[in-house]
Amino acid sequence: MKTSRLLPVLAFAALVAACGQPSEESTPAAPAAPTAPTATAEPAAPAAPAAAAASGAVALDQEGLRLVSETGSTRLVAFETPTADAVAALSSVLGNPADRSTNSECGAGPTEFVSWSNDLDALFLEGKFVGWSAGQRSGGKVTTMDGIGVGSTRQQLIESFGDLKVEESTLGIEFTAGDIAGILDKDGPAGKVETIWGGTSCVFR
């Protein structure tokens, strides 16, 4: 700290000043007028750690989550990646997570959720990345490389995935395309994606 570095300097200055003071035989100087005590400055609070800088984007993928750099190159964070490695990779693009929680009632077992401010959740089971989900606030922010995400229509899903299974379940109008699934707000070609997930999920039917 600055204060600790100044102490030796001040002590040295005081010693030099003392050497230059008149001896007892010297004519005493007139007493100085009393000065008001000065307020001691409070030490500054330590600065909060800076959030991880965000750079690039994250795309939804049937095999995990794909990091997309500003140059357009991509790198897959695949399912089964260890938790610490996956979170670090995703945070390098999305910034620090907004929340971390665990749900012990998921069908696959106690599942850890790491959430970011763009409404993207990464799911971890037994120390490994196993799935992802994107909620309603992620619309337009998190999509597949083909642009499929919350807000996409059923017709767009068909054009992107080709083989699309749609059925009514206890969750609503549920669709499945390979290893990606989700909920539509209504049946028919104009139905739009309300939520979407990939890999291991934690949904209660």
- CATH number at 142 reads 2.60.460
pLDDT at 54: 57
Tell me, yes or no, whether 46 lies in a domain: no
The burial class, CB within 10 Å (0-12 / 13-18 / 19+), for 123 is: buried
Number of helical H runs and strand E runs in the chain: 3, 11
H helix or E strand, kind and range, residue 85: helix 83-94
Tell me, yes or no, whether 41 lies in a domain: no
The burial class, CB within 10 Å (0-12 / 13-18 / 19+), for 68 is: middle
CA 118 to chain centre: 9
How far apart CA 133 and CA 127 sit, in angstroms, is: 18
Strands (DSSP E) contained in the chain are: 57-61, 64-68, 74-78, 99-103, 111-115, 120-125, 128-134, 165-169, 172-177, 180-184, 193-199
* Residue 103 DSSP SS3: strand
pLDDT at 21: 46
Q: Which domain holds residue 156?
A: 57-199
* Residue 144 DSSP SS3: strand
For residues 130 and 79, is the Cβ–Cβ distance under 8 A?
Answer: yes
pLDDT at 195: 96
pLDDT at 34: 45
Tell me, yes or no, whether 68 lies in a domain: yes
Tell me, yes or no, whether 70 lies in a domain: yes
Tell me, yes or no, whether 65 lies in a domain: yes
pLDDT at 102: 96
Tell me, yes or no, whether 184 lies in a domain: yes
Place of tokens 């309603």: 136
Tell me, yes or no, whether 142 lies in a domain: yes
For residues 184 and 193, is the Cβ–Cβ distance under 8 A?
Answer: yes
Neighbours of 141 (CB within 10 A): 17
Q: What is the pLDDT along the chain (205 residues), one digit of tens a residue?
A: 333 333 333 333 333 344 344 444 444 444 444 444 444 444 444 443 444 445 689 999 999 999 999 888 999 999 999 999 999 999 999 999 999 999 999 999 999 999 999 999 999 999 999 999 999 999 889 999 999 999 999 999 999 998 899 999 999 999 999 899 999 999 988 899 999 999 999 987 6
DSSP structure string for 129-140: EEEEEE-GGGTT
How far apart CA 197 and CA 175 sit, in angstroms, is: 10
The CB-side HSE value for 60 (13 A sphere, CA atoms) comes to 32
How far apart CA 202 and CA 137 sit, in angstroms, is: 18
What is the tally of structural domains in the chain?
A: 1
Tell me, yes or no, whether 24 lies in a domain: no
